[in-house]
Amino acid sequence: MRLHEIDTPALMVDLDAMESNLHRMAGFFHGQPAKLRPHFKNHKCPALALKQIEAGAIGMTCATLREAEILVRHGVPSILIANEIAGENKINQFAELSREADVMVAVDSEHAVSEIACVARKQGVPLSVLVDINVGLNRCGVPPGEPALRLAKSAVEQGLKLRGVMGYEGQLQVIPPSEERDGSVRVVAKSLVDSRALLEREGIPVEIVSTGGTGTYYVSGAFEGVTEIQAGSYLLMDTLYEKRGSPFTRSLTLLATVVSRPEPHRAVIDCGMKELSAERGLSLVKGVEGVELKALHAEHGLIEFQNPGGGMEIGQKIELWVHYSDATVNLHRRMYGVRKDNVEEVFQIEH
Amino acid sequence: MRLHEIDTPALMVDLDAMESNLHRMAGFFHGQPAKLRPHFKNHKCPALALKQIEAGAIGMTCATLREAEILVRHGVPSILIANEIAGENKINQFAELSREADVMVAVDSEHAVSEIACVARKQGVPLSVLVDINVGLNRCGVPPGEPALRLAKSAVEQGLKLRGVMGYEGQLQVIPPSEERDGSVRVVAKSLVDSRALLEREGIPVEIVSTGGTGTYYVSGAFEGVTEIQAGSYLLMDTLYEKRGSPFTRSLTLLATVVSRPEPHRAVIDCGMKELSAERGLSLVKGVEGVELKALHAEHGLIEFQNPGGGMEIGQKIELWVHYSDATVNLHRRMYGVRKDNVEEVFQIEH
């Protein structure tokens, strides 16, 4: 299949750029004590997860039970659900998955520990948890130190497999790298490693200390005592992370078609916010100067030309850099893997 | 199935509210010369489209060929694609659909007219078009009057079935009703009706004059010479349209579960922007005072309580009013039809 045969709107990944990101990140972790466990939520493509594992990743991180289920079905042997789950239904599903693969889930409350332990006993299946520590994002998580220790102890006492601790410093991913920012990342890593030491002093072995993202991997991934990094966005790379100073290469675009040229300085494309997320800002147009996406309606994209006339005709295809890959991938069922003008592979996005 | 058995996050429609909206709108059109052709893009549920037709709608409006295909497959006999399409692939698909049902598409350029006429000749199938007129939204569309006439003539000369004109006054949907706003809606309706008269004076019969939305239906639907209204959002109704002063009843909510209670004044729910669009603003929490959604991350919703403690526990379910139904429905595959505590029906959302 050739590029021009793709029906629009369509999500595309530049394979050269994506592979360069894959190898760049794998290269960093080669020889580091910490390993990479990439986040699945960003691309939701089992085929890409398997490529990441082939390149050295020790398993996958994910955000939901549903994602864990998809990963188990595709043969990923080790999965961290870096998120809280609640309710007997969900925990029963978690127990089912735990029979098939090494699946772990984050906990940040006595409530969750008791509920998970209860299902583990009922179903007679050992269940693995990590204590989620709030490292400043102020989303989920218990405070580091004593509260983390208390929860870990409780998990052990109730018969859960306490695998370690995690803490996601999302608040630092959005700040461009600098000595000061990187110092804050080390403070986060240290608080996790200190919590690890606290647990181990109390006789609780800690196998996993998980943290880090695409913006901070090179700091937390090199920090003594951190065992794994959750970075995900590096693979497809979007212009939002790029703005934050990431060294990876943009690879993700939305292919659209001009469907209307109502005025010399305006065009309308067949791609709106149902295909391209604007939750974090608007996309840039790829490879054409003086052409700007001005607005996304539900089903339309409004394009403006600096130079009236602009040379863009109805039927012409146009590529937009995906600004926020997480929310955009979530709008699609497939992603076309493109090299030059060829579609080499179609990646299924699973939901 | 009972409400508490629904796995979260889940999209829910209150059947009483939805049916009251259905009948309220149908009631307005009973006895009007204009008819209702509701927009499908808002709910994407074939079962709801069939309910709308049963209640008196003359067919469906939609935004994409894909939606038209879904409607044809579900037996909707008359469909207006109120949007431009471009490219031979798309027009061939349009021709295929036109063999199975009365499908019409908007055109706003000579380019589109020629391309569609060419496919009609090649495939030997009559193809129906409406001239899309820019009535101030400044998206697609030709200017009213002479330019509309020229395009209509060209369509007729090239052998297309010219069915009429359409113009969507999206810029007026967002303004709350007032004498002034309603006056502007009448100006729009008049420009469409004037264009109709111009075409008819030139011997081009006009069957359809389509305009209007949930914010303006009662003005344009009562305007002499308008034949049909494209309103869609009225059925599910969201808080965005409500803010604009619509008389319909909110019916659409997102059911989520509290997964973390990290601090007395905060909770985290299992619903982020991958399940609930924040493109037009944040959702309100249903039925609980002093509880506010403060932010949506990709996979998390951050809840704050005015009254620390708040009484909300891990595992507890919480409902959020959908703020922007178009973009939120687009994130789901099914919608639970709920009456009191019972799930009466599960609506498939087709993409």
ipTM of the complex: 0.97
Tens digit of each residue's pLDDT (9 = 90 or more) over B208-238:
999 999 999 999 999 999 999 999 999 999 9
* pLDDT > 80? residue B282: yes
Task: Tell me how close the Cα of A203 comes to any Cα of chain B, in angstroms.
Answer: 26
Joined together, the tokens standing for residue B217 give 């239906």
* pLDDT > 90? residue B39: yes
Position B287 scores a pLDDT of 93
Nearest to A115 by CA among A86, A95, A144, A135: A86
| Band (A182; pLDDT cuts 50, 70, 90) | very high
Q: Do A262 and B140 touch (CB under 8 A)?
A: yes
Q: Taking residues A249-277, what's their average pLDDT?
A: 97
* pLDDT > 80? residue A311: no
Q: Taking residues A115-140, what's their average pLDDT?
A: 98
Tell the residue number behind the tokens 């109709």, with chain if given. Answer: B196
Q: Do B299 and A89 touch (CB under 8 A)?
A: no
Task: Provide, as residue numbers in chain B, all residues whose Cβ is less than 8 Å from the Cβ of A112.
Answer: 314
**From A8, A108, A327, residue closest to B260, measured CB to CB:** A108
For the ranges A35-44, A238-247, B127-136, B317-326, the lowest mean pLDDT is seen at A238-247
Between CA B177 and CA A202 the distance in angstroms is 67
**From B63, B278, B330, residue closest to A279, measured CB to CB:** B278
Task: Tell me how close the Cα of A31 comes to any Cα of chain B, in angstroms.
Answer: 32
Q: Do B260 and A297 touch (CB under 8 A)?
A: no
Between CA A305 and CA A309 the distance in angstroms is 8
* pLDDT > 90? residue B206: yes
Position A180 scores a pLDDT of 98
Q: Taking residues A15-28, what's their average pLDDT?
A: 98
Q: Taking residues A268-296, what's their average pLDDT?
A: 96
Between CA A38 and CA A26 the distance in angstroms is 11
Position A157 scores a pLDDT of 98
Question: Which amino acid is located at A266 in the chain?
Answer: R
Choosing among A270, A275, A282, A334, which should be mutated to test the B contact, i.e. which has the most B CBs within 10 A?
Answer: A270
| Band (A285; pLDDT cuts 50, 70, 90) | very high
**From A112, A170, A314, residue closest to B86, measured CB to CB:** A314
Choosing among B119, B299, B325, B334, which should be mutated to test the A contact, i.e. which has the most A CBs within 10 A?
Answer: B299
Considering chain B, what percentage of its residues have pLDDT values greater than 90?
95
Task: Tell me the average pLDDT of chain B.
Answer: 97
Between CA B104 and CA B125 the distance in angstroms is 13
Position B4 scores a pLDDT of 87
Position B311 scores a pLDDT of 76
Position A234 scores a pLDDT of 98
